[in-house]
Structure 1
């Protein structure tokens, strides 16, 4: 094939590729809430898929290019986060992406043009383990915990000799107490209230 024809074909391919790229860009949603959501710092993906914010979660909120509007905040007892300019924003019960979008929308209402926002969890709210364990109480949440292994119980000192080890009673925030057979692949989530019942001899 002559060199001129090869060059002509290459030029056409290049033009076509550029046209597709431009069209894709034009068709993309130009909304103001397209910032990637980095979810949790070194987060467990199982938690990230199901995680909803609650009282006591500490967040890092970044408004890109606006250092004075970026902050580290904790969700207060009323389920809100207090932010510069826009004041209190409801956070409890929201997914990270939902809170991110709410903050961006509020900033866009008379404060910033096309704000780019990211929300990241720095510290999760604790979990609670009580009942027939040796050292029940409040414990820092750690990524990677599930009810398949004994780690979730071990952090509370392990079972007592009276413990029912075939199931536990679990309350997730906003839910009812449910019986969970053990072992289970269900991940432990921030705010979980875990009770180990007494077995009947």
Structure 2
């Protein structure tokens, strides 16, 4: 197992625990489609399981329809207790649990194995959503873009550095995904290394990758390589440009072709 995959699994497990704790603490905001299980201590006849309808209401014994849209689990508990105490029960103790999540969804596209629309089963972090989508594909880059519409209608774009999160361990970047978010995992930049290298092929690169690093990814030079005559073939404004005799510390760009010619002497 690669170090990157191991870090992904560890961070994912950590945030599953944190999210579960958050949900159980009553911080989850319910919405249409969620199924709630409601119990009242010492009153089993009032126990019920109910789905939040399109109007953001639930049907509760004795109380009828109750508005719960925009409320957290703990707020619903307090609201129901107050309503039951108003002429029905003495000091009622109400507990509300999420039986089934079904109200919130997000889209994840790009370089994941199973892109698509996913239900957010309670508080869901970025890594958990990526996990739901089958994990990153082999061509995944280091940038994630999240497009979000705030409650006031304003559009927001959030950029996440996956490398800093997964390899650097910056867990502050593992943000909560919200209902309606559109998440896009970028494709990695690729460079092509050919000629007198041991393993000519296409390789993923990071920002700032140099010629010598790209050649190292390709296994290094062969014994026939003309190390001082390396060329880069690059597309500039739709036209092919050839850079000759490039230094080994030259930064490469996505889609560059690095050519290591053969030495004839």
- So what's the TM-score if we normalise by structure 1? 0.62
Between Structure 1 and Structure 2, which shows a larger proportion of strand residues? 2
For the structure 1 residues 101 and 144, does the alpha-carbon distance in structure 2 shift closer, same or farther, using more than 3 Å as the test? closer
Runs (4+) of structure 1 exceeding 6 A deviation are 159-164
Match of residue 73 from structure 1: 50
Distance 2:130 2:69 in 1: 27
Match of residue 179 from structure 1: 157
Match of residue 100 from structure 2: 123
SS of 1:44's equivalent? helix
Are positions 1:111 and 2:99 aligned together?
A: no
Cα offset for 1:89? Answer: 0.9
Are positions 1:193 and 2:181 aligned together?
A: yes
Distance 2:91 2:59 in 1: 21
1:31-70: CA deviation from partner (whole Å, max 9, x where unpaired): xxxxxxxxxxx96234547421111221110011111111
Distance 1:118 1:162 in 2: 43
1:133-189: CA deviation from partner (whole Å, max 9, x where unpaired): 664443243467422x3x423433556979893422134667644212214221235
Are positions 1:44 and 2:23 aligned together?
A: no
Cα offset for 1:127? Answer: 2.4
Distance 2:99 2:149 in 1: 24
Match of residue 146 from structure 1: 125
Q: How many residues align?
A: 157
Distance 2:74 2:60 in 1: 17
Distance 1:169 1:52 in 2: 21
**Structure exhibiting the larger radius of gyration computed from Cα positions:** 2
Distance 2:92 2:158 in 1: 43
Aligned CA RMSD, in angstroms, stands at 3.4
Distance 1:172 1:51 in 2: 17
Structure 1: runs of 5 or more not aligned: 1-41
Distance 2:37 2:152 in 1: 24
CA contact (8 A) 2:40 2:46 kept: yes
For the structure 1 residues 76 and 137, does the alpha-carbon distance in structure 2 shift closer, same or farther, using more than 3 Å as the test? farther
The higher relative CO (CA closer than 8 Å, separation ≥ 6) is in: 1
Are positions 1:89 and 2:66 aligned together?
A: yes
Cα offset for 1:115? Answer: 1.1
Distance 1:197 1:66 in 2: 50
- So what's the TM-score if we normalise by structure 2? 0.48
Distance 1:127 1:92 in 2: 16
Match of residue 201 from structure 2: none
